[in-house]
Amino acid sequence: MNWPPGFTGAAAFTFDVDAESAILWNAPHNADRMSVISHQAYGPLVGVPRLLGLLERHRIRSTFFVPGYTAERYPQTVRAIAAAGHEICHHGYLHEQPTGLTPAQEIEALDRGLDALRRTAGVTPAGYRAPMWDLSWRTPALLAERGFLYDSSLMDADEPYELRVDSSRSLVEIPIQWSLDDWEQFCYLPDISGSGLIETPAKARELWQAEFDALREAGGCWVMTNHPFLTGRPSRARELGRLMEHVTSHADVWVATLGEIAGHVRGLGLTPRSIVRPEL
Ligand SMILES: [Zn+2]
């Protein structure tokens, strides 16, 4: 991969502002659980402001994936993210997993999400990330039809590439991976999510930093995913700050938003490649 002059790799800190949406889609009865709702509300209410301060201190611009429902429930939070100079992107309406939707439902979730971001923050997102990183085989074409530049939900490479949609269209794909997600490390909601094991912030950072160091050597693109309702807690945010310090101390790594990375990759004119659905 040809990175911009002076850089041999790239890194991005990204945040998925799921808030309540992640536990309501497919489980609307969770709305009856006041404590559970408050656990998710911590993200936009406390986590996002803390993380915005952290990003400012480390002079990092980031990408925030915001479900439409979150944008409507917390418009002031979404506007604060945009005002701080960060990128806002699409993450469904009610955090719907595309593989659990009919074609008509998938279209509705995409368009409702677009509409919510436009109305609340005046944003037309360039990027999309599937809730639960669970793209359906039809999602790429729906994104291309709506003018998206990139997706960040697939896991088959160390660096971005052009994903073929059809003979004339492609999307930039910026790969992610489960080991660079805070959900597995920190999420515990009885009866809803998590194993009950909550890792220490230091152990989580060790995992994430090891992958950064190795991907840097490989010339790849390190994409970290954190959720404000999880990593917005004080000790975790403090440890994420240490990780930011480590990442930004490497002058050969381009720390950028996913939109900036996607724009660079699009300019390279790479030949798109396909992912073939298994035939059974
Ligand atoms: Zn999410």
- What pLDDT score does 195 carry? 83
* Ligand 1 ion: Cβ-proximal residues, 5 Å cutoff: 16, 18, 131
Give 199 Cα–ligand 1 centroid separation in angstroms: 20
The token pair that represents 232 in the structure block: 């917005």
**pLDDT interval class at 196 (50, 70, 90):** confident
**Alpha carbon of 272 to those of 157, 159, 162, 171: distances in Å?**
14, 14, 4, 8
Give 201 Cα–ligand 1 centroid separation in angstroms: 20
- Per-residue pLDDT of 55-109, as tens digits, reads 999 999 999 999 999 999 999 999 999 999 999 999 999 999 999 999 999 999 9
Give 135 Cα–ligand 1 centroid separation in angstroms: 12
Is there a domain that residue 13 lies in? yes
Give 246 Cα–ligand 1 centroid separation in angstroms: 26
- What pLDDT score does 230 carry? 98
Is there a domain that residue 79 lies in? yes
Give 6 Cα–ligand 1 centroid separation in angstroms: 33
Is there a domain that residue 276 lies in? no
CATH number of the domain enclosing 32: 3.20.20.370
- What pLDDT score does 57 carry? 98
The token pair that represents 67 in the structure block: 């479900």
The whole domain housing 40 covers 9-268
Is there a domain that residue 221 lies in? yes
Is there a domain that residue 275 lies in? no
Is there a domain that residue 226 lies in? yes
Closest CA to 241 of 270, 202, 214, 272: 202
Average pLDDT over residues 141-146: 98
**pLDDT interval class at 215 (50, 70, 90):** very high
Give 93 Cα–ligand 1 centroid separation in angstroms: 11
Residues of the chain with pLDDT > 70, as a percent, come to: 100
In which residue are the tokens 């790849």 written?
220
Is there a domain that residue 1 lies in? no
Is there a domain that residue 24 lies in? yes
The token pair that represents 35 in the structure block: 């404590």
Structural domain count, the chain: 1
> For 93, which DSSP code?
S
